[in-house]
Amino acid sequence: MADDTYPRTVTDMVGRTVTIEKPIERIITNNADNARIVIALGEGAKLKGSDECTIGSGCLCPMTEDNQILCDACWNGVIPTPLQDLPLTNDRYTPNLEMMASLKPDLVFLWTSWEDKADDIQERVGAPTFVAGPDYTVEGIKEHISYVGSVLGKEKEAEDLKSFVDQEVKKVTDITGKIPEDEKLTVYFAPRGAMKGFFDAKEGRDFTRTDNSYDPLTLAGGINVAKDVADGNVNVGIEQIIAWNPDVIMVACTSPDDTGVDFILASPELQSITAVKEKKVYKVLYPNCRGVPHDRNLINMFYMAKLLYPDKFTHIDINTEGDAIMKKFLGVDRAFTEYSEYLQFPMAQKV
């Protein structure tokens, strides 16, 4: 019997009209953000190919800096095939169109930075392309979930996942929402870490790179000192950071050997800053990984809240909360605990 629900027409996140001619059984994603939602909505078995960061660099399942698997259950159980055995369909900039076409996908998910490639890939691979991706905001995460749910016909599962996100946020904002604005701590956030010192023109992995809007920090009750900076992601002068004089400095980190915090604490130029004088300079989870990982940014919200207001969040165990979040998105146990034990700082920093 013919399925009269097809063809279906949907709109992707950049406004493109996408026609789905038949039930979706084979999916390719070109980054971990979309793969994560495909899995979270129960369609991981349909994932037939992805990028090198999803299948080999720890953007989906945790991995060490030197590419050693941390959570075996994640790499071997997040989809029926071991994740690292999926065919490689693209690197950061270039799709392998021949590989994509050979996998005979019914749908190809592309991240928003590939919007300009979407029509060409669709024509040359012979499958509809759907552009989608989140940002740092909770609303951006939920919007992403809704769009992926709409194209997969998983609207009910998407609503459930969005409700989970709201519940997690509420655990924090029920507390931080009661803190008077004049009692909230000011924070300078270095989302690209401090691996290269103050400034690295090539990679931007430096202390002076900041963002004027990082929702997990705001939800955690921090006042972002860069909130009035015109650009979203921008390098600022050392003099500006000194003038902001944050109460707390948070530095993104992906390795237990990262010396960024030590560099900041020891820098003669920064000794007048309150956060440095009081040694309130902390490592936090890296908020990017070829995209904006929903799970790690939600975990960052809890972790930042515990760093800023430890007395108000003694009831929150970061590993318990982290495991619950990653299980909701990836369907496996202890993924964050394995990562936390490797990173060391979520356990070592007394929060």
Contact 165, 323 (CB under 8 A): no
Q: What are the phi and psi torsion angles at 92 (to 5°)? A: -60, -40
163 in any annotated domain: no
Same domain, 213 and 310: yes
Omega into 7 within 30° of 0, i.e. cis?
Answer: yes
263 in any annotated domain: yes
Same domain, 215 and 126: no
- Going by C-beta distance under 8 Å and a sequence separation of 6 or more, which residues neighbour residue 177? none
CATH classification of the domain holding 246:
3.40.50.1980
pTM higher than 0.85 for the full model?
A: yes
Number of domains, the chain = 2
What is the pairing mode between strands 88-90 and 209-211? unpaired
Cβ-count burial 65-91 (b if 16+ within 10 Å, e if not): eeeebbbeebbbbbbeeebeebeebbe
Residue 4's pLDDT is 72
157 in any annotated domain: no
Contact 130, 8 (CB under 8 A): no
Cα separation, 283 vs 121, whole angstroms: 39
Contact 322, 337 (CB under 8 A): yes
pLDDT per residue, tens digit, the chain (351 aa), is 456 789 999 999 999 999 999 999 999 999 999 999 999 999 999 999 999 999 999 999 999 999 999 999 999 999 999 999 999 999 989 999 999 999 999 999 999 999 999 999 999 999 999 999 999 999 999 999 999 999 999 999 999 999 999 999 999 999 999 999 999 999 999 999 987 778 776 666 689 999 999 999 999 999 999 999 987 788 899 999 999 999 999 999 999 999 999 999 999 999 999 999 999 999 999 999 989 999 999 999 999 999 999 999 999 999 999 999 999 999 999 999 999 999 999 976 655
Same domain, 291 and 205: yes
- Going by C-beta distance under 8 Å and a sequence separation of 6 or more, which residues neighbour residue 4? none
Same domain, 210 and 129: no
Same domain, 204 and 127: no
Show the domain range for 240. Answer: 176-348
Cα separation, 304 vs 308, whole angstroms: 6
Q: What are the phi and psi torsion angles at 127 (to 5°)? A: -145, 150
Residue 86's pLDDT is 97
Which of 77, 102, 133 is where one domain is finished? 133
Same domain, 238 and 182: yes
Same domain, 114 and 184: no
Contact 305, 316 (CB under 8 A): yes
Residue 204's pLDDT is 63
Cα separation, 185 vs 223, whole angstroms: 6
160 in any annotated domain: no
Question: What sign for the dihedral angle of Cα 86, 294, 195, 278?
Answer: negative
Residue 2's pLDDT is 53
